[in-house]
Copies of this chain bind each other. A is one copy, B any other.
C-alpha cells in the first residue's frame, strides 16, 4: 500500500499566488487600470452562480466561502483567505458564467479584474498562463482532498479538520474569536448545525477545545489531529 495519504477537509491552498510577478511593468499597469477594489461587508454576496462572469477576483484581505447550490441544498467548496484567486473556472470560453457563488464571511476587500484583459494576458504571456495553471492544479488537489474528506470521514473527523484548518492556516494561532456561526461551521463540515453544536460540546467537555460563545481555543491539538486522521 505504501505511504498513507492524508486528506483534510481544509480548503486553504498552501500555494502562494505568484502569478502577478510574471507580468511586465506595462502589463501590471494596464491590469491595474482595468481593476477595481471593492469592499464587501460580512454576509454580502461577492459573485452569484450562474450570473455572467465579467471579472476574475483576488482576495486582498478578508475571508469568503465559495459554494454551489441547487436551490435546496448548499455545498461549500472552499474558503478564500487573503491572497487567493476567485473565479478562475470562468476563464474557459465555454463557461462564461460563474460556476459558483461566493459570500464574505467577514468584511473583505476584493480586487475585480476585467476578464477580457485577463484572458488577453493569458494569451500573450505564457509564464503568466503557466502560473494560472499551477494555481488551478493546486486548487483541484485541494478540492479533491475536501471531496474525499466529506464523503469518507465521519462527522467528528470533519469538524476536527475544519477547526484545525481555521487555527493552523487562517488565524495561525490556537486562540481566536470565531468569525463563523455554528451554521457556517455546519455548512463547512457538511452536517447539520445541531450536530455541530453537540460535537463542539463534546470536544469542549473532553477538554480538547475551550469554547465560550465565539471565544475559541484549541487545548489539545494533537488529540484533535488524531480525531481528524482516524476520521
Taking beta carbons and an 8 Å cutoff, which residues of A are in contact with B? 1-7, 15, 49-50, 68-71, 73, 75, 77, 88-95, 99-100, 119, 122-127, 129-130, 132-134, 136-141, 143-144, 146-148, 150-152, 190
User: B148 and A75: CB pair below 8 A?
Assistant: yes
Min CB distance, A200 to chain B, in Å? Answer: 21
Instruction: List the B side residues contacting A7 at CB < 8 Å.
Output: 68, 70
- Asked whether A137 and B6 contact (CB < 8 A) given A75-B151, A130-B123, A144-B68, the answer is no
Within the complex, which residue of B3, B71, B89, B93 is in contact with A141, where a contact is CB–CB below 8 Å? B89
- Look across to chain B and name the residue whose beta carbon is closest to the beta carbon of A140: B89
CA distance A104 to B222 in the complex (A): 39
CA distance A15 to B92 in the complex (A): 10
User: B122 and A125: CB pair below 8 A?
Assistant: no
